[in-house]
A and B are shown apart, each in its own frame.
Chain A
């Protein structure tokens, strides 16, 4: 069964329910999407999908799926260059990929974004896993506030909302907490999903809480202090803290509302059908949701999946009741405001700046963005000049918050970079 066949079947079960905020019903939405799908005359091809608004982007993604093609979401928000690079690469590929539903491009090292290939079955199985714990109801109104560039948003919010018969709302304004909160109130939103950074910002502008029934938190580490503050300000809201990765379509585990306070710090229990083991401290998972592989990168794929086990790159442990805790990263990846940043990507560009002899980028824990990116370097060039140089070449979310010129950079005895303050 293709993903669209599955989605359509579920959506038609509640064809009279309201799907979108303008009153469009599920029956009407299915017809509309299939009508739009007709403009794609070929099958099983890779199709880059963009949209001027989240609403448009969502409709286009669904149309591509309905046309039996593979959706490759693109957007300017993470860099115009990256968007163009993806579009150029995809345009050159005329092959057919009948098993795929999506290719999601995310940050990678070595200057090349990784294309995570997800099959119809990957997504359908992850949606079924969500149904084992996330009671989204037809009466719920879910406000999608983040770009449709993340599989967590596409699967966890859009597609899940559609199969559950909820009303889907889109937040199209500038990303500002006061406005987001006001829109939630005006639209009687009941569900919002976001990163700890987003919820921290919301809490700053509404100490007395926000009017939501369910909140799903994901994308970066949720510190117990923030979890407590959120619960205290919103006693009527059910909070979930969940963990996943794009390579797993994405969801791996979930901490349920009943455990949100008493097991703060944990990302909950593994979802039904997900096997796990810890190897040298690293979390490995195995399930039908493990990606097909990285697009045109067999070497990286083979390093990531071995004998069906997905090497998450996260260091983790479980307690004796089976609750999972993520302790950190195995590699150097930094998570800033829920976005993946590889210090190597920044260092590579910085090293190319005339006058920079040596540099190191790292994350420093921060209560604004989870981690702030710091770049230290040795060389004759000024911090201002280096910043200007970087801003022309790095995608916006990779820009270091602090750039410091230092006399020397620490190194390990074998000469490796030391990535700490």
Chain B
């Protein structure tokens, strides 16, 4: 598992999402709605010690788990 995958897996497990594949959609497959997504973002930022840029947080670009992994990788 890459560093980014590891960080994201920990965050998702904390929030009760037990197993997720890259292709899984955040809402439909992981059951995370916009309220829970806030928690994901906050925790990712904490783990990375960085704040995501507004432009990287366009809801239209964050559809799958893979998108979240890419986002995490970008800030590593």
Q: Which residues of A contact B (CB under 8 A)?
A: 77, 173-179, 197, 201, 204-205, 336-337, 339, 368-369, 372, 384, 387-388, 390-392, 396-397, 399-403
Asked if B27 and A391 make an inter-chain contact with CB atoms under 8 angstroms apart, the answer reads: yes
List 18 contacting pairs A-B, 8 Å CB cutoff, sorted by A: A175-B38, A176-B42, A177-B38, A177-B42, A178-B45, A179-B54, A197-B35, A201-B42, A205-B42, A337-B35, A368-B15, A369-B39, A387-B30, A391-B29, A396-B27, A399-B31, A399-B33, A402-B16
In the bound complex, residues from chain A placing their C-beta under 8 Å from that of B48 are: none
B18-39 CB contact bits vs A (8 Å, 1 = yes)? Answer: 0000000001111111111011
Q: Which residue of chain B is the closest to A179 with respect to CB atoms? A: B54
The count of A-to-B residue pairs whose CB atoms sit within 8 angstroms is 62
Considering the complex, give the chain A residue whose CB is closest to the CB of B57.
A174
For B29, give the chain A residue with the smallest CB separation: A388
B51 located at the interface, meaning its Cβ lies under 8 Å from any Cβ of chain A in the complex: yes
- Out of A388, A396, A401, name the residue touching B16 (CB < 8 Å): A401
Which of B30, B38, B57 gathers the greatest number of chain A CB atoms within 10 Å? B38
Q: Does B59 contact A (CB under 8 A)?
A: yes
Residues of B within 8 A of A399 (CB): 31-33
Complex Cα gap A176–B52 (Å): 10
Kindly identify which residue among A176, A178, A391, A403 contacts B28, using a CB–CB cutoff of 8 Å: A391
Taking each of A201, A384, A401, which has the highest tally of chain B beta carbons within 10 Å of its own beta carbon? A401
- A81→B46 CA distance, assembly (Å): 35
Is B29 a contact of A401 with CB atoms below 8 Å?
A: no
Given known A392-B28, A396-B27, contact A204–B33 (CB-CB < 8 A)? no
Q: Most chain-A CB neighbours within 10 Å: which of B31, B51, B59?
A: B31
Give 10 nearest A-B pairs by CB, closest first. Answer: A396-B33, A391-B28, A402-B16, A401-B16, A399-B31, A337-B35, A368-B39, A387-B31, A178-B51, A397-B33
**What is the minimal beta-carbon distance from B30 to any residue of chain A, in angstroms?**
8
Residues of B within 8 A of A (CB): 15-16, 27-36, 38-39, 41-42, 45-46, 51, 54, 57, 59
Residues on the B chain within 8 Å of A173, using CB: 54
Closest B-chain residue to A391, C-beta based? B28
Nearest A residue (CB) for B28: A391
Contact A201 B38 (CB under 8 A): yes
B45 partner residues in chain A, CB cutoff 8 A: 178, 205
Distance of A237 from chain B, by nearest CB (Å): 21
| A391-B27, A401-B16 known; A77 vs B51 contact (CB < 8 Å) | no
CB contacts (< 8 Å) of A368 on chain B: these are 15, 39
Given contacts A178-B45, A204-B42, A391-B28, contact A401 B57 (CB under 8 A): no
* A403 to B38 Cα, complex, angstroms: 20
**Given A372-B16, A396-B27, A401–B38 Cβ distance below 8 Å?**
no
Question: Which of A197, A204, A390 meets B31, CB within 8 Å?
Answer: A390
Q: How far is the CA of A195 from the CA of B46 in the complex (A)?
A: 22
When chains A and B are docked, how far (Å) is the Cα of A179 from the Cα of B38? 11
- The answer to whether A388 and B28 have CB atoms under 8 Å apart is yes
Question: For A337, what are the chain B residues with a Cβ–Cβ distance below 8 Å?
Answer: 35
Q: How far is the CA of A391 from the CA of B29 in the complex (A)?
A: 7
Docked pose: A402 CA to B29 CA in angstroms? 12
- A176-B41 contact given A372-B16, A396-B27, A401-B16, CB 8 Å threshold: yes
Chain A residue at minimal CB-CB distance from B41: A176
Return chain A residues, CB-CB under 8 Å to B59.
174
> Do A397 and B35 touch (CB < 8 A)?
yes
**How far, in whole Å, are A78 and B41 apart by their CA atoms in the complex?**
21
A391 cross-chain contacts in B, Cβ below 8 A: 27-29, 31
- By beta carbon, the residue of chain B nearest A398 is B33
Q: Which listed residue, A178, A369, A384, A387, touches B35 by the CB 8 Å rule?
A: A369
Complex alpha-carbon distance, A174 and B62, angstroms = 12
CB distance from A78 to the nearest CB of B (A): 10
Which residue in chain B gives the minimum CB-CB distance to A396? Answer: B33
